[in-house]
Amino acid sequence: MIRAIVTDIEGTTSDIRFVHNVLFPYARERLAAFITVEQYNEPVSTILDNLREEIAQPEATTAELIEVLFAFMDEDRKSTALKALQGIIWRDGYVNGDFKGHLYPDVLPQLEKWKSQGIDLYVYSSGSVAAQKLLFGYSDEGDITPLFSGYFDTLVGAKRDVQSYRNIATQIGLPPTSILFLSDIHQELDAAEAAGFRTTQLIRGDDDAASHHYQVPSFSNIKPEQIPS
């Protein structure tokens, strides 16, 4: 029996175009000025030190780090430091009403249904936990954060690493076979499956012929009660 569902965000609950055409440019335009002003203040000071460690350049200057962050943004690197900074910058955008967190219309009704059936709901995204809470706290459908029992980001591990899913199962406190992971990316689902999770792939756009995972176009097609554990 499925007792918990862990969902990805980008391409799963929310349109990739919202992340790439709204969120990422918003952070990109403000990143250099933000770091210049905040570099000696917490939490930015610690995040920059973490970035120095991540790139193994303990002496890197702020200007060099900004250059690295721009390169990371160009390649959509899921760097924990970049994700932390983006999350802080996005806060203003949500609070000022510049944008709301996109949700596909099929997501909220299904999350509510699963929650009412006693299934615990979690999020796992490369976006920082703070950024996840903002997206769901300021979503198209209002604040839906009360639906979630917990959030995981790259601090638990990378999304394509099997160990990340073992860590998530341990933290949730359930056997992996009773947890369903939802994502649009088959490499993430492969890793979750290798850890023992049940998997379902959201196909919100293009087909993925390279995937062997059960595929659905919408949350309304997912029936956890029919998935054997």
Contacting residues toward Mg ion, per CB under 5 A: 8, 10-11, 184
Residues 6-65 that bind ligand L4RZE5RM (CB under 6 A): 8-10, 19, 23
User: Is residue 83 at the binding interface for ligand L4RZE5RM, with CB under 6 A as the rule?
Assistant: yes
- The interface region with ligand L4RZE5RM, picked from 44-52, 111-119, 129-137, 193-201 by CB under 6 A, is 129-137
Least Å from the CB of residue 24 to ligand L4RZE5RM: 8
Non-local CB neighbours of 56 within 8 Å, separated by 6+ positions: none
The residue number with the shortest CB distance to ligand L4RZE5RM is: 127
> Which amino acid, 198?
R
User: Is residue 164 at the binding interface for ligand L4RZE5RM, with CB under 6 A as the rule?
Assistant: no
Least Å from the CB of residue 112 to ligand L4RZE5RM: 21
> In 10 A of CB 223, how many CB atoms?
10
Binding partner of 77, given Mg ion, ligand L4RZE5RM, none, CB within 5-8 angstroms per partner class: none
Least Å from the CB of residue 195 to Mg ion: 17
Non-local CB neighbours of 36 within 8 Å, separated by 6+ positions: 62, 66
Interatomic CA distance for residues 26 and 142, integer angstroms: 21
Residue 160, exposed/middle/buried by CB under 10 A (0-12, 13-18, 19+)? middle
Cite the DSSP H helix spans in the chain: 16-18, 24-38, 44-54, 62-74, 80-95, 107-116, 129-137, 162-172, 186-194
User: Is residue 132 at the binding interface for ligand L4RZE5RM, with CB under 6 A as the rule?
Assistant: yes
Q: Which is nearer to Mg ion, 65 or 72 (CB)?
A: 72
Q: Which two tokens stand for residue 219?
A: 């949350």
User: Is residue 135 at the binding interface for ligand L4RZE5RM, with CB under 6 A as the rule?
Assistant: yes
Q: Which is nearer to ligand L4RZE5RM, 54 or 229 (CB)?
A: 54
Interatomic CA distance for residues 172 and 180, integer angstroms: 12
- Cα atoms in the 13 Å half-sphere on the side-chain side of 8: 27
> Which residues bind to ligand L4RZE5RM, rule: CB under 6 A?
8-10, 19, 23, 78, 83, 86, 125-127, 131-132, 135, 159
